[in-house]
Each structure stands twice: as C-alpha cells, then as structure tokens.
Amino acid sequence: MATYKSLKGQPIQVLTADPPAPVEGQVWVVAAPGTASVMKGYRLGAGTWATGGVRNNASGALGGSIIGTQTSAVAAGGNISGTVQSNAETYNGSAWAEGNNLNTARREIYAAGISTAGFVAGGDTSAGSTGQVNNTETYNGTSFTEANNLNTARNAGSGAGLLTAALAICGGTGPGAPNFVDNVESWNGSSWSEIAEVNTVRVRGGAAGTLASALYFAGQAPPGASALTELWNGTSWTETADVNSARTYVGSAGTDSSAALLFGGGSVNTETWDGTSWTEVNNLAVSQADNFGVVSGTNSLALSSGGESAPNARSEEWTRALATVSFDID
C-alpha cells in the first residue's frame, strides 16, 4: 500500500463516498457510518508498455533524449549492418519523422536532455569500437550544432539530464572499449568540466536525471553484469539500493522529479526507482537483445527503441495512468 508521504501537503477531504471525478493530487477519507475510514488519493499509478511508432531506420547502438519541452524525443546515430549512422529522427508521441542529421556519424553515444535542449556527446565512429570521439552536438528541436568537446573521448557510457545541466558518466576507450573510464563530466550548457568519480566504474549502464540529482545503475563491471546503483547529489556519488536483476546494455529514463525506469538489457524486465529502492513492474512486450536503444523520459512517459544485437525499428511507450490508490496513514 502507498503512503500519504507521496501526496503530503494536500488538503484531506472527508467524504461519505469516493468522488465521481477526482483530480490529480486529490486526497480524501471515506467516513461512512458503519465502515472503517480509509484514506485515498488520486495520482499516477503503475505503468505499462504499449507498442509505439515505428522508426524509419532500423538501427541499434543509437542514442536518444528528450527535447527541452519534454513533449517530444530525438533519436540519433547508431549502427545499421556495420555502418555507423548520422541520421536523426524525432518522435511526437505517435510517429517518427526524419530530421536533420548529426554532423558526425557515431554510435554508442552519450545523450540527454535538459530544460532547453538535447545533446549528444562522445561515441564511436567505427562499428568495432576503435574510433572514440569527444565532440558534442546540441539539438534545438530542429538541427544539431557542434559545441565544446568532452575532456575525454569515450563511448559506451551513460548520459543523464538534470534541469539545467547534464552528465556524461564513465565509458570506455580502445577496441571494444575494454579500457574503462571512471571519470564523470558535467555539461553546464556551454562546456564540460570533470567532477567527482563514481565509486565503481562500469560501461553500458543506465542513467537518469531528476531535478537536481542523478542515478547511475546496472551496467558491465569486471568481470560481468552489475546490479549496483549510485546516486549523485550534486557533489558526490553514494552507493544505494541495487537493482533486482543485474544486467548490461540497458535502457533507462527519468520519469518524474524523483523516479527512474530501467528496462531491456537483453530482457523484458522493467524496474522503477521511487527515490529509495527498485521495484519490478510490468515487462516490455519484446525483449530488446543488448538494448542500447533510445530512451526518453517525460513526466509520465518513457520510450524504448533499437537494440544492438538485432537492430530494429520498433518502439514501445511506457505510460502511467491516473488511478485511485489507498494510503497508510503515517
């Protein structure tokens, strides 16, 4: 059962029956004669996956981000039949449309969105992970513009967008990216600067940004898949609750001011982060083998697409519907 803490601060109405048309955030107590009082609220409930639009290009190892408005997404780069791509597509919530290309074709890139734009950085210009780059491109909803470079060229890491900043987390260099990069860089809208390192270096993990913090979770850490989660508080990284299923090549998204979503990684399993722990929830319809696909989060929607081992054009949308939930009074 949920707790009232998640809606704390809302006025509590005393009613004799559930309201016929509740609104988001409404909290009430049903106090009918002869019945036990129960506190209830109307908020976003559990999420589910549904088939989304089909991309125009069946590519894997691409990157994606929200665009500043948080109502659309962009997917860029990737790999098709051994050829590294520069093409980009935008998603309006129902369909994909081809847009202006990246200036540099690349795969396994860092991608994230902040309040004003999306960006891609780093990545690999060859299908064999031998051409790591450090250049950055920002996306304004129409086109990509080259910006200041990362301090360290890398690929196979994770990008996380905060409200006004973004992070490029870990990654690798060399053929197959076997040389792990443990440092983290922060983007302030115009340039990158190195910040505190994570406690455990990993590649091909998941990352999600909230308003002022970020999560880095799962991924590949010698000698194999990891279940670790680390939380960034703006100053340092702290290890917190592990994911339930260790995995790598994962998809991830931030879904509201404090929550995150983990999915794929050669699995249909989906987990949500509530600020304290991970919970297994409704699965993807189709396992994205070695999913390194597009991930884009809005307040109540995330997007999964792509897949590295078997590149494809299908997408799935994660949505959370409003529902009446009962609360413990604590």
274 pLDDT more than 90: no
Given pLDDT bands bounded at 50, 70 and 90, which one contains residue 265?
confident
pLDDT tens-digit map of 74-94? 888 888 888 899 999 888 878
- Give percent of the chain with pLDDT exceeding 70: 81
If pLDDT is split at 50, 70 and 90, which confidence band does 104 have? very high
In this predicted structure, what is the pLDDT of residue 294?
A: 46
User: 271 vs 264, which has greater pLDDT?
Assistant: 271
Domains and CATH numbers, the chain: 2-46+321-328 (no CATH), 53-313 (2.120.10.80)
Name the average pLDDT for the chain. Answer: 81
Higher pLDDT, 198 or 166: 198
Q: Which residues, at least 6 apart from 166, have a Cβ–Cβ distance to it below 8 Å?
A: 112, 113, 114, 119, 159, 160, 186, 187, 209
What share of the chain in percent tops pLDDT 90?
Answer: 26
Whether pLDDT at 293 is above 50 = no
Q: Lowest-confidence range among 67-71, 162-166, 196-200?
A: 67-71
Tokens representing residue 214 in the block = 């970020």
Nearest to 111 by CA among 96, 102, 121, 123: 121
What does the pLDDT read at residue 313? Answer: 81
Choose the weakest-confidence range: 64-68, 266-270, 281-285.
Answer: 64-68
201-226 pLDDT, tens per residue?
A: 999 899 988 666 889 999 998 878 99
d(CA 74, CA 97) in angstroms, rounded, equals 10
Q: Give the pLDDT confidence score for residue 182 in this predicted structure.
A: 87
pLDDT tens, 149-187? 999 999 988 888 877 778 999 998 877 666 889 899 999
Mean pLDDT of 287-311: 59
Residue 245 confidence (pLDDT) above 60: yes
Question: With helix as H, strand as E and coil as C, how does the chain read?
Answer: CEEHHHHCCCCEEEECCCCCCCCCCCEEEECCCCCCCEEEEEEEEEEEEEECCCCCCCEECCEEEECCCCCCEEEECCEECCEECCCEEEECCCCEEECCCCCCCCECCEEEECCCCEEEECCECCCCCCCECCCEEEECCCCEEEECCCCCCCECCEEEECCCCEEEECCEECCCCCEECCCEEEECCCCEEEECCCCCCCECCEEEECCCCEEEECCEECCEEECCEEEECCCCEEEECCCCCCECCEEEEECCCCCEEEEECCCCCEEEECCCCEEEECCCCCCCCCCCCEEEECCCEEEEECCCCCCECCEEEEEEEEEEEEEECC
pLDDT band at residue 229 under the 50/70/90 scheme: very high
pTM for the whole structure: 0.83
The pLDDT, as a whole number, for residue 279 is 92
Is the confidence at residue 232, as pLDDT, over 80?
A: yes
Do 290 and 266 contact (CB within 8 A), yes or no?
Answer: yes
Per-residue pLDDT, 261? 85
- The lowest-confidence range among 124-138, 246-260, 266-280 is 246-260
